[in-house]
Amino acid sequence: MSANATCEFQAKDYKSDLKPIWCPGCGDYSVVQGIYRALAAIGRPPHEVAFISGIGCSSRIPGYTTAYGFNTVHGRALPIAQGIKLANPDLMVLAAGGDGDGFSIGGGHIAHLIRRNIDITYLVMDNQIYGLTKGQLSPTSQKGRTTCTSPYGSLENPVNPLLYVLAYGAGFVAQASPTDLAGMAAIIEEAIRFPGFAFVNIQSPCVTYGEEAQQIKGLKAISENLSSLGHNPADRLAAMDLAQHYGEKLHLGVFYRNPEPAPTYDALIRERQAALSKDAPPKERILDLFIKK
Amino acid sequence: MRKDLVFGMAGSGGDGIVSAGDSLLQAASAEGYHGVMTKSFGSQIRGGESSCRVRISTEPVLNPGGNLDVAVALNWEDFLKFGAELPVAGSTVVIYEAATGVPENQIPLVGVTPLQVIAVPIAEMAKSTAGTERAKNTVVLGLIAGWFGIGGEAVMKGISKKLAKKSQELVDANQKAFDAGVVFAKTHPLKADMTVEPSKTKGAVKLLTDGNDMCAAAAIFAGCQFFGGYPITPSTEIMQFFTSHVWKYGGAVLQAEDEIAGIGAAVGASFAGRKAMTATSGPGLSLKSEMMGLASIAELPLVIVDVQRGGPSTGLPTKTEQSDFFAAAFSAHGDVIRPVLAPTSVADIFRITVEAFNIAEYYQTPVIVLSDQEIASRKETLDPIDTSQFKIVNRLLPTGSDLQDYKRFKQTENHISPISHPGMLGGTYLASGIEHVESGAPTNSGSVHARMNDKRIRKFDPLKERKDLFEITGNPDAPLALIAWGSVAGVCREALQMAREQGLDVKLMVPYLLYPVAEQTYRDFFASVQKGLVVEQSHLAQTFKVLRMHLDLPKGLQSLARSGANPFLPGEIVAALHHLLSELQRSHEGKLQPQE
């Protein structure tokens, strides 16, 4: 398996024959286009890519690619993705899902993936609503929002996904949106190329249950490009400062990129395997460990 | 002279009674004896009561034994906490700490007159020889060597080896404490000769280990290259073994953030093409059930070891029980068959774990190994295992022609479809928890769901025909029968021997495959059975109920079931068999009398 494939791939080579179940106009159509483009730019053959998701509208996404896909159970894309990467570090491993999948039912996993720094790219399609179950409150829904499960308005504060992952020390944190498809594809590409855990929060509107202000037009109105703001992505504290505006502003681009990426967990275990396998007895003799003389 | 001795010793956590048991077993094994040791603790992290039971024999040992031949109490309060785990009988020699101040004729054991009771000033002897009461356990080992003739030189050799790293002074002090024990024993001879016969296999190579380590070693031997798990008593040592050794074989281990992530990572590793495993105990099994369902529908090989403890919930974390059968066979929703295997000893957990990987890989399914706290933590001496006699099965990979038009879940004659993995050109597919057509594409179709359920269930038909996953001993045509699995099987094996020696016509079935229920194998076994017992440590009698659900049981088959942490004794099972026989005889006599 070669890390750098010689043959060239085009975006369409990553598109499968399955027809998406998404509603017409769903932001996720743009996200999957962005992923095709990013993968084509990088050029890893589809069979060397493992694309893992949980449950939700956006978690259908691996099936729309020609990669090895695994549409798992709700909230558990990340543990499964980690097992894949540790079992075969040669693979390119992507994980994706919605805000409920990543920050509610699966919210406990992301912190641990970050502190392990396994080379996985995690794309969250954040739409502030549970779409597949038809419109309930999500962990990123604004306080006061009325939904099927908050008919008198939500009493909870939302999770801030950007601050969350920055606080745990993720090496790459960015935000993208279908409001800028080319920019999104470039950010996804950069995230995949980053050597270590990378997180991209993608504001992807829900056309059926989303609020007016969170549709493309509304998002465009509050979006600002981080590079045009002069933000230095090597500055983690500045990134955290900007991330506090999650929900009121839509900052697009790279919040933080560790200028000196730490060795990844998957690389470290390879070193350990190499060091310890040298003098190991064959596994057929493993019971010799129990001989008492 | 004796062929077999069962020691039960108890004290406070700091007394080192378990490490004395370890030393005794190691020494006996070095001398060529067979042996088993089990430990039992209170739930305190340090301190609290602790005990061990060591059985030494010139013959292979089937279980940790019934009533104690020798009871050692460093204090009575702790000893009594173990109740039925350390049963004293009329044949028991009781040795206890004289400093307890309890007169020999007033020891606090109700309703039993031991063979002999001896108060020994153990603490005082430790202090006067080694200068510290911490050498009490060495004094005990000296007493055992003196009275029962086991572990003499070998014990001190082992202790010296352990302590030599610390200081020579410590070695000398322990030698003095040990010698004092021996001298005390020689000057206070027992009423009966209880020395053990010399071992028949002195100098032979023996293995000495516990069930958890053996299980992990078997997994690595079977080719397991990934372990994902979370610490939980009494299974944690399996993960610990992996953290020490799996790297050497190109594998990896992940101590995950929780039980779900632990099995999730293992599911991922299996999807990536590696043999993978997780291990847990009751509460963790509950948490893992959704992932087990995922592995079943995605048809991914996976081995899950459940080291049972008392339940429900936290239950009895340090004591054994057999109450996870329902959870192992039936947890996770949907119509699904998930094979459940059960080892009965440290010796056979090797074979059963290898078998679990073979079944998981062949049938592309999660498999549960239902171990239990007793097997997991008990140490056994074993004859070396010839690993070359074990066949290793790997999953069916697609051939070049399969990959021309690859369908991951293709319907085949035996319902098993070639399985690709990431990195394999031409094999890309979507694995999913959602129902899928042959290619892997999601579907909502009821008819496809019915067909796929049929595939996933019928693929196990040949597994139910595996006679080698059942052990049947005794007279095959016997009217009396025993059925037992797991650590209880060892007790029943001994009960079978005793019962047959007493002239009872009885047979024993030990199922290593608990689920799916191999109906025909049971029917064949039941053909001669008029009376029998399903013996298990489950208050609900889960095994008996699962059998009744699948089979028409012989009318005389009864359940002998109780909660865990109350070990069965071979003698009580034999007594129950005698009772069944007399019932049988009465009913036969009844038949001879004319009605009305």
* Domain extent listing, chain A: 11-290
Q: Residue A251 has what DSSP assignment?
A: E
Host domain of residue B329: 210-389
* Residues in B 270-309 with any Cβ partner in A closer than 8 A: 270-274, 276, 290-291, 293-294, 298
In angstroms, the separation between the Cα of residue B209 and the nearest Cα of chain A is 6
Of A67, A108, A277, the CB nearest to B428: A67
Determine whether the interchain pair A277/B249 forms a contact, defined as Cβ–Cβ distance below 8 Å.
yes
* Residues in A 144-203 with any Cβ partner in B closer than 8 A: none
How many angstroms separate the Cα of B202 from the Cα of each of A99, B154, B226? Answer: 66, 12, 39
Q: Does A39 touch chain B (CB under 8 A)?
A: no
Which residue of chain A is at minimal alpha-carbon distance from B383?
A: A291
pLDDT > 70? residue A7: no
In angstroms, the separation between the Cα of residue B158 and the nearest Cα of chain A is 10
Residue A3 banded pLDDT, cuts 50, 70, 90: very low
Which residue of chain A is at minimal alpha-carbon distance from B226?
A: A87
Cα atoms found within 13 Å of the Cα of residue B71, Cβ hemisphere only:
32
Rounded CA gap, B269 and B445, in Å? Answer: 30
Task: Tell whether B423 and B541 lie within a shared domain.
Answer: no
Task: Tell whether B30 and B89 lie within a shared domain.
Answer: yes
Would residue A127 be called left, alpha or beta, if left means φ above 0 and alpha means ψ between -120 and 50 degrees?
alpha
Q: Please give the backbone phi and psi of residue B508, each rounded to the nearest 5 degrees, phi first.
A: -130, 135
Task: Tell whether B240 and B356 lie within a shared domain.
Answer: yes
Residue from A68, A92, A270 whose CB has the most chain B CBs within 10 Å, to mutate: A68
Q: Does A80 touch chain B (CB under 8 A)?
A: yes
Rounded CA gap, A91 and B139, in Å? Answer: 60
Task: Tell whether B71 and B155 lie within a shared domain.
Answer: yes
Rounded CA gap, B525 and B478, in Å? Answer: 10
C-alpha distance across the termini of chain A, in Å: 46
Q: What is the pLDDT of residue B61?
A: 87
Q: Name the token pair of B369.
A: 């190994």
Which residue of chain B is at minimal alpha-carbon distance from A86?
A: B252
Is the separation of the CB atoms in B509 and B496 below 8 Å? no
To 5 degrees, how large is the angle CA A246–CA A250–CA A254?
Answer: 90
Rounded CA gap, B246 and A263, in Å? Answer: 21
Q: Pick the last residue of a domain from B439, B465, B491.
A: B465
Q: Pick the last residue of a domain from B449, B465, B481.
A: B465
Which residue of chain A is at minimal alpha-carbon distance from B208?
A: A290
How many angstroms separate the Cα of A202 from the Cα of each of A199, B224, B323, B393? Answer: 10, 38, 47, 44
For residue B347, give the nearest of B475, B199, B471 by alpha carbon. Answer: B471
Q: Which residue has the tokens 């106009």?
A: A25
Determine whether the interchain pair B271/A287 forms a contact, defined as Cβ–Cβ distance below 8 Å.
no
Rounded CA gap, B376 and B234, in Å? Answer: 7
Residues in B closer than 8 angstroms to A293, CB to CB, are: 30, 205
Task: Tell whether B403 and B278 lie within a shared domain.
Answer: no
Q: Are strands A250-257 and A172-176 parallel, antiparallel or unpaired?
A: antiparallel
Q: What is the pLDDT of residue B594?
A: 52
Is the separation of the CB atoms in A54 and A101 below 8 Å? yes
In angstroms, the separation between the Cα of residue B450 and the nearest Cα of chain A is 21
Q: What is the pLDDT of residue B373?
A: 95
**Position B291 in a domain:** yes
Q: Does B334 touch chain A (CB under 8 A)?
A: no
Residue from B242, B271, B299 whose CB has the most chain A CBs within 10 Å, to mutate: B271
Rounded CA gap, A96 and A99, in Å? Answer: 10
**Position B192 in a domain:** no
Determine whether the interchain pair B29/A292 forms a contact, defined as Cβ–Cβ distance below 8 Å.
yes
Rounded CA gap, B220 and A285, in Å? Answer: 11
Q: What is the pLDDT of residue B457?
A: 98
Q: What is the pLDDT of residue B593?
A: 54
Q: Pick the last residue of a domain from B131, B153, B187.
A: B187
Task: List beta partners, residue B54.
Answer: B7, B37
Task: Note down pLDDT in tens along chain B; length 596 residues.
Answer: 899 999 999 999 888 999 999 999 999 988 889 999 998 888 776 778 899 999 999 998 888 888 999 999 999 999 999 988 899 999 999 999 999 999 999 999 989 999 999 999 999 999 999 999 999 999 999 999 999 998 888 888 888 888 888 889 999 999 999 999 999 999 999 999 999 999 888 878 889 999 999 999 999 999 999 999 999 999 999 999 999 999 999 999 999 999 999 999 999 999 999 999 999 999 999 999 999 999 999 999 999 999 999 999 999 998 999 999 999 999 989 999 999 999 999 999 999 999 999 999 999 999 999 999 999 999 999 999 999 999 999 999 999 999 999 999 999 999 999 999 999 999 999 999 999 999 999 999 999 999 999 999 999 999 999 999 999 999 999 999 999 999 999 999 999 999 999 999 999 999 999 999 999 999 999 999 999 999 999 999 999 999 999 999 999 999 999 999 888 989 999 999 999 999 999 988 766 555 44
Q: CATH no. for residue B181?
A: 3.40.920.10
Task: Tell whether B383 and B495 lie within a shared domain.
Answer: no
Residues in B closer than 8 angstroms to A7, CB to CB, are: none
Residue from B213, B214, B257, B382 whose CB has the most chain A CBs within 10 Å, to mutate: B257
**Position B198 in a domain:** no
pLDDT > 70? residue A6: no
Q: What is the pLDDT of residue B110?
A: 87
Rounded CA gap, B38 and B41, in Å? Answer: 10
Tell me what the mean pLDDT of segment A81-109 comes to. 98
Q: Does B376 touch chain A (CB under 8 A)?
A: no
Give B29's contacts (C-beta < 8 A, 6+ positions apart). Answer: A292, B35, B206, B208, B381
Q: Which residue has the tokens 């109740």?
A: B83
Q: pLDDT tens digit string along A112-130?
A: 999 999 999 999 999 999 9
Task: Tell whether B385 and B405 lie within a shared domain.
Answer: no
Is the separation of the CB atoms in A85 and A266 below 8 Å? yes
Determine whether the interchain pair A86/B265 forms a contact, defined as Cβ–Cβ distance below 8 Å.
yes
Residues in A closer than 8 angstroms to B230, CB to CB, are: none
Determine whether the interchain pair A80/B265 forms a contact, defined as Cβ–Cβ distance below 8 Å.
yes
Q: CATH no. for residue B336?
A: 3.40.50.970
Q: How many residues in total does chain B contain?
A: 596
Structure-derived torsion over alpha carbons of residues A51, A55, A57, A62, reported in degrees to the nearest 10: 10
Q: What mean pLDDT is reported for chain A?
A: 96
Q: What is the pLDDT of residue B175?
A: 94
**Position B193 in a domain:** no
Q: What is the pLDDT of residue B13?
A: 82
Q: Is B370 exposed, middle or buried (0-12, 13-18, 19+ CB in 10 A)?
A: buried
Rounded CA gap, B78 and B61, in Å? Answer: 27
Residue from A283, A285, A291, A293 whose CB has the most chain B CBs within 10 Å, to mutate: A283
Task: List beta partners, residue B117.
Answer: B94
Report yes or no for ipTM above 0.90: yes
Q: Does B247 touch chain A (CB under 8 A)?
A: yes
Rounded CA gap, A270 and B564, in Å? Answer: 43
Residue from A76, A264, A284 whose CB has the most chain B CBs within 10 Å, to mutate: A76
Q: What is the pLDDT of residue A2?
A: 43
Give A218's contacts (C-beta < 8 A, 6+ positions apart). Answer: A211, A212
Q: Residue B111 has what DSSP assignment?
A: T
In angstroms, the separation between the Cα of residue A107 and the nearest Cα of chain B is 12
Q: Does A71 touch chain B (CB under 8 A)?
A: yes
Task: Report how many domains make up chain B.
Answer: 4
**Position B401 in a domain:** yes
Task: Tell whether B378 and B413 lie within a shared domain.
Answer: no
DSSP-assigned letters across all residues of A203-228? E---TTTS-GGGSHHHHHHHEEETTT
Q: Does A66 touch chain B (CB under 8 A)?
A: yes
Determine whether the interchain pair B256/A112 forms a contact, defined as Cβ–Cβ distance below 8 Å.
yes
Is the separation of the CB atoms in B478 and B526 below 8 Å? no
Give B240's contacts (C-beta < 8 A, 6+ positions apart). Answer: none
Which residue of chain A is at minimal alpha-carbon distance from B429?
A: A68
Helix (H) or strand (E) holding B379: strand B379-382
Cβ atoms within 10 Å of B401's Cβ, excluding its own: 8
**Position B200 in a domain:** no
Task: Tell whether B487 and B446 lie within a shared domain.
Answer: no
Residues in B closer than 8 angstroms to A290, CB to CB, are: 207-209, 213-214, 217, 382
Cα atoms found within 13 Å of the Cα of residue A32, Cβ hemisphere only:
28
Q: Please give the backbone phi and psi of residue A102, each rounded to the nearest 5 degrees, phi first.
A: -85, -35
Q: Looking at per-residue confidence, does A234 or B203 come out higher?
A: A234
Structure-derived torsion over alpha carbons of residues B175, B181, B187, B188, reported in degrees to the nearest 10: -170
Task: Tell whether B236 and B309 lie within a shared domain.
Answer: yes
Homologous superfamily of A11-290 in CATH?
Answer: Thiamin diphosphate (ThDP)-binding fold, Pyr/PP domains (3.40.50.970)
Task: Tell whether B377 and B424 lie within a shared domain.
Answer: no
Which residue of chain B is at minimal alpha-carbon distance from A60?
A: B442
**Position B523 in a domain:** yes
Q: What is the pLDDT of residue B589?
A: 76
Residues in A closer than 8 angstroms to B251, CB to CB, are: 273
